[in-house]
Amino acid sequence: MEKEYFLRDVLKAVDVSVSVGLYLVNTHHHHAARKFYQESTTLLEFIEESLHQKNEPRKELDQETGDTEKEAEVYFQLGACYSFVGQKEQAVEFVEKSMQIRQTEEHQESLVDCLNLLANNLLSPGQAKEAFERLQKALQVSEENAGGFIKSIALMALGHAYKDIGEYDKAKEYYQRMIRVSEEFHVSNLGAMAYYHIAELLMELQQYEESMKSIEKALELCEESKLTEQTTLSKGDIYITLCKIHLLLGQHDKADECVKQILTENRPKNNLDRSVSLFQLGAFFSVNGKLEQACDIISESIKCYESERDLFNDEFKLSSGDMVEHLELYRHYCLLLVALGKPVQALCTAERARARLLAEMLAEKYAIREKAELSENDLSILLKSLNQNQIVVFIATPRGKRITFWIMKNDASLEMRNPKSANQDTPWKAYFESLSYGRSINSEDRSLLALYDIQSAADGTQHDRIREKRLFEDSDDEELEAQNLPNQLYYTLIAPIADRIQNREVVLVPEGSMAMVPFAALQDDSGKYLSDSCRVRIIPSLSTLKLILDSPENYHSQTGALIVGDPQVSHVTPLWQLKAARQEAREIANLLEVEPLLGEQATKEEVLRRIPVVCLIHIAAHGDAERGEIACAPNPSSPQIPAKEDYMLTMGDIASVRIRAKLVVLSCCHSAKGKIMQAEGVMGIARAFIASGARSVLVSLWAVDDKATKEFMIRFYGHLKYDKMSASEALHQTMKWMRESKTARYTVREWAPFVLIGDDVNLDV
C-alpha cells in the first residue's frame, strides 16, 4: 500500500511537470519547457526502475494510474521541444518512444500528432521518401479514427512538405482538401489557415491576383471564427501577407494601411513567429525603397523578439541571441538607420545585440535596477566620463563582410566610417596560428586537455617541450607568408581609424571572433606595431563598460591579494604538477608581500572563501577557457577519490559568489579563449569573472614560454606596485620593455598575447 501511494505521489509530480511544460510550449518557451519534460522523464524512469527491482509487472501500475499516456505525452512534447530548437536527432528519438507507447495503447489521435512531428524532422534530402510515407500514414489514421481538426492538421503537414520540396501543385491540392474538411466539420479557423497557406504559395509563384483572393478569404474566415488558441495563425499574420501582396501589386497606399493595422494590433502570444513575419515584411519595404516604413516595422519586430526573449532562461538567451535570423534583425535595422542618416541610433542598435546576457548578469551583481540597455543619453554620459586621451572604437559588420567603425571621444562626438576596402576576408586566423602555434615552446601545459583525454604529454614528463595543437585545421591560408599577415590585419582593422587613435588609449569593442586578434602586434607598412603608439584594451560591449563604471563606489575591494599557484591535483587527476606556475606565484607573492596559496593549500573551498574579499586575484593553474573551469586542490573533506565538483572551480561556482576584485590575472593556458559567439562574444573563463563582478581581467591569447611569462608578470606587478601605474599603462610598458629588450630578445610571441578586458584600474598593492 505504501508503495502504491509513493508511486502515485511520483506520478503527481510528473503531472505537474507535464502541465508546466505544456503551458511553456503553448507560449513558445520551448527551451524552458524542455527542463520540465526532462524532469518528467527522469521521474518515469525512476518508476520503471522501482517496478523492475521488485519484479512486478508494469501493467498493474498502468491499470491503476494510466501513466502510459502521461509517459507518451512527455516523450512527444520533448520531441516537439527538440524539434523547435533544431535538434532533429533527439526529436526523432523521443517521438518514436511516444509512438511505441501510443501504438500499443491505440491512442490513434495522438499518434497522428506523432507521425506529423516525426515526418517534419525526417524531411531532408536523404529521407524525403520515409517522411512522406509517415505523413500519408498519419493521414490514413486520421481519416479512419479522428475528427476534422486532426485530419486537417495531417493534410496541412502534407501540404507544407510538398511545398518544401517544390511540388507546388501537390501542396495546393492538400491545402484545398483541408478547406473541404474544414467546411464539412464547420471549423472556419482551419479554413482560414488553409487559405492563408494557399495565398503564401501563390505569392511565391508570382500569381499575385489569385493570392489576393485567397488571403482575403482567409481574412473573412478569420473575422468569423475569432481564431482560437489551437491555431498558430493570427490576424496579424494575415495582414502581413496581405501587405506583401499589395506591395507586389504596386498598391502602396493599401500596403501603408495594412502596416497601420499590423502595428496597432494587440500582440499575440507567439511573439517569436510574429517577429520573423514582421522582419520579412520590413525587408519587403526596404527593397521597395520605403525606408521609414521599413524602420517602423523592423522596430516592432525587435520589440516582439525582445519581449519574448526576456521570459527565457539564460541558456535560451545565449542560443537565440546568436541565431542568424535574430542577429539579422539588429543588422538590418542598423543599416536602415544609417541610410536615414541616424548614426547614433544605428550604433545603439548594433550595441543592443552585443553581449546582452553579460550586461544583464552585471546589472544583477551590481544591484542596478535600470534595464541593461544603452540609450542615446546613456551613450553621451558614458563618453563624457572618458578622459581626453581615451577613444572608444566600436567595430561591427552590419553589411555582412564589410566592417563599420564608430569612433567616439569624451566630447560625446561620434564619427562613423565604412571603408569600402575593409572586409573580414583577411586571414587573421592564419596569423594567429603563426604567432601561437608556429614553433615549439618551453611551456607547461596549463590546460585541462589531459583530464579530458584530448592530449597527453609526449614522453610522460611533467615539463615537456610541447608543440601546441593546431586550432584552425580547416584554414585555407596555411601557405601564406606569416610576416605579411600583420600588415593585412592592420590594413583591415586599424588603417581606417589610424588617424584618430595615434598616441591614445584605445578602448576597442570588437565583434565576435575579432576579440581573438592580437591587436597590440598589428603592424603598419613601415613595420611599426600598434602598441608602439597606442595602449589597447578590450570591452565586450558599451553596456558592459557603462555598468562597470556605474557600479557602487564601495563595491570593489580596495586592498588584499589572492595569489594561487599550482593547486595540487596531480595525485587525483591525470594533470601534471606545474612547477613553473608555483615559482611564478611565489615570486609575485613576495613582490606584493602576501602569502600565496600553493599546492595542497589551494583548495577549491579556500579559493572560494577568499575570492570575494580581495582587490587582486592571480591564478596560475590548470584552466579550460571553453568550459570555464580551473583545477584547484580537493577540499579537505573530499573522499580519497574526490568527485570533480570537489576540486574543479566552474563558471557556476564563480557566478555563485560576488567577486569584488578590481583586477583578475589568469595565468592559465589560452585564458582569453572560449566559445566564440557572434552576439555574446567569447564565452570563457575571462567572461565568467567579468560577469561575477571583476572590474578587469588580464588574460593570454595563447600559451607563452614559462620564463617569458614569469618575467612579464614580475615587471607588470612592479609597475603596479612601485610606479603606481594603472593596469592598462603597466601592460603597455611591460610589452614595450619586452619588445625593446636587447638582452633577452623576446619575440612577438612572448609579449603580444596579453590582453586587458574591462575597465582600467589602479591598485593599492
Model confidence, pTM: 0.75
Which of 471, 432, 463 lies closest to 445 in space, CA to CA?
463
- Note the pLDDT tens digit of each residue in 534-560: 999 999 999 999 989 989 989 999 999
What DSSP character marks residue 494?
I
pLDDT digits (tens, 9 = 90+) for 280-306: 889 888 888 889 999 999 998 888 888
pLDDT tens for 698-756 read 999 888 788 888 899 999 999 999 999 999 999 999 999 999 988 878 888 889 999 99
Share of the chain above pLDDT 70, in %: 71
Q: What is the mean pLDDT of residues 430-459?
A: 56
pLDDT at position 481 is 40
Out of 313-317, 383-387, 500-504, 756-760, least confident range: 313-317
Mean pLDDT of 369-378: 77
The continuous run of DSSP H or E covering 34 comes out as helix 30-53
Residue of 600, 602, 570, 596 lying closest to 583 (CA atoms): 596
DSSP assignment of 463-492 equals S--B-PPPS-TT-S-TTS-GGGHHHHHIII
> For residues 620 and 712, is the Cβ–Cβ distance under 8 A?
no
267 — pLDDT class (breaks 50, 70, 90): low
Instruction: For residue 241, give the C-alpha cell.
Output: 501577407
Q: How many CB atoms lie within 10 A of CB 706?
A: 20
Place of cell 573551498: 605
Is 84 within 8 Å of 273 (Cβ atoms)?
Answer: no
Strand, coil or helix: 14: helix
Task: State the average pLDDT over residues 583-591.
Answer: 95
At 756, list the grid cell.
586587458
The answer to whether residues 301 and 279 touch, using CB atoms and an 8 Å cutoff, is: yes
DSSP, residue by residue, 380-420: HHHHHTS-TTEEEEEEEEEETTEEEEEEE-TT--EEEE--T
Model confidence at 49, pLDDT cuts 50, 70, 90, reads low
Per-residue pLDDT of 480-512, as tens digits, reads 344 556 677 888 899 999 999 999 999 999 988
pLDDT tens digits, one per residue of 94-123: 777 777 776 654 555 566 666 666 666 666
Cα distances (Å, whole numbers) of residue 753 to 130, 623, 718, 727: 52, 17, 19, 16
Measured CA to CA, the distance from residue 279 to residue 295 in angstroms comes to 10
| Span 507-531, pLDDT tens digits | 999 988 888 889 999 998 888 999 9
Q: Interhelix angle for 168-184 vs 148-164, to 10°?
A: 170
Q: What is the rounded distance in angstroms from the CA atom of residue 26 to the CA atom of residue 36?
A: 14
Residue pair 608/649 in contact by the 8 Å Cβ criterion = yes
Closest of 39, 50, 36, 41 to residue 6, by C-alpha: 50
Distance CA 413, CA 379 (A): 10
Q: Report d(CA 141, CA 407) in Å as an integer.
A: 64
Instruction: State the average pLDDT for the chain.
Output: 78
At 105 the pLDDT is: 46
Does 161 have pLDDT greater than 70?
yes
What would the mean pLDDT of 48-62 be, rounded to a whole number? 44
DSSP 603-658: BHHHHHHHGGG-SEEEEES-EETTTTEEE-BPPTT--SS--GGGTEE-HHHHHTS-
Task: Check the CA dihedral 588-589-592-593 and report its sign.
Answer: negative
Residue 311: per-residue pLDDT: 56
Q: Is the pLDDT of residue 650 over 90?
A: no
Amino acid identity at 415: E
pLDDT of residue 10: 47
Give, in degrees to the nearest 5, the angle at Cα 506 between 376 and 331. 45
Which residue bears the cell 570537489? 646
Q: What is the pLDDT at residue 534?
A: 93
Q: Are the C-beta atoms of 304 and 274 separated by less than 8 Å?
A: yes
Query: Residue 599: which H helix or E strand, with range?
Result: strand 597-599
What the block records as the C-alpha cell of 718 is 612592479
Q: Which residue has the higher pLDDT, 325 or 211?
A: 211
Q: What is the pLDDT of residues 251-265, one digit of tens each?
A: 989 998 998 888 887
Q: With contact defined as beta carbons under 8 Å apart, do 651 and 628 qualify? A: yes
Q: pLDDT grade, residue 463 (50/70/90)? A: very low
> CA 549, 385, 408: angle at the middle one, nearest 5?
110
Give percent above pLDDT 90 in the chain: 33
Q: Name the CATH architecture for the domain at 554-758.
A: 3-Layer(aba) Sandwich (3.40)
Lowest average pLDDT, out of 14-28, 463-477, 558-572, 714-728, goes to 463-477
Question: What is the pLDDT, as a whole number, of residue 99?
Answer: 75
Residues 631 and 3: their CA atoms lie apart, in Å, by 44
**396 is written with which cell numbers?**
561591427
Half-sphere exposure of 447 (CA within 13 A, CB side): 28
Is residue 207 over pLDDT 60? Answer: yes
pLDDT of residue 348: 92
Tally Cβ neighbours within 10 Å of residue 173. Answer: 15
pLDDT of residue 11: 46
Angle of helix 67-84 relative to helix 108-122, nearest 10 degrees, comes to 20
Euclidean distance between CA atoms 182 and 171, whole angstroms: 17
How far apart are alpha carbons 334 and 340 in whole angstroms?
Answer: 10
Digit-coded pLDDT (tens) for 637-648: 888 888 888 999
- Is residue 469 predicted with pLDDT exceeding 50? no
Q: Assess whether pLDDT exceeds 80 at residue 142.
A: no
Q: Which residue do the cell numbers 495582414 mark?
A: 239
Size of the chain in residues: 765
The 10s digit of each residue's pLDDT in 22-45 is: 545 554 455 555 555 555 555 445
User: What's the pLDDT at 112?
Assistant: 63
Q: Which residues contact 665 (CB under 8 A, 6 or more apart)?
A: 616, 617, 618, 619, 697, 698, 713
pLDDT band at 226 (very low <50, low <70, confident <90, very high): low
pLDDT digits (tens, 9 = 90+) for 675-704: 666 656 666 788 889 888 999 999 998 887
Least confident of 139-148, 232-241, 276-285, 439-448: 439-448
Residues forming CATH 3.40.50.1460 domain(s) in the chain: 554-758
> What distance in Å separates the CA atoms of residue 215 and residue 242, rounded to the nearest whole number?
6
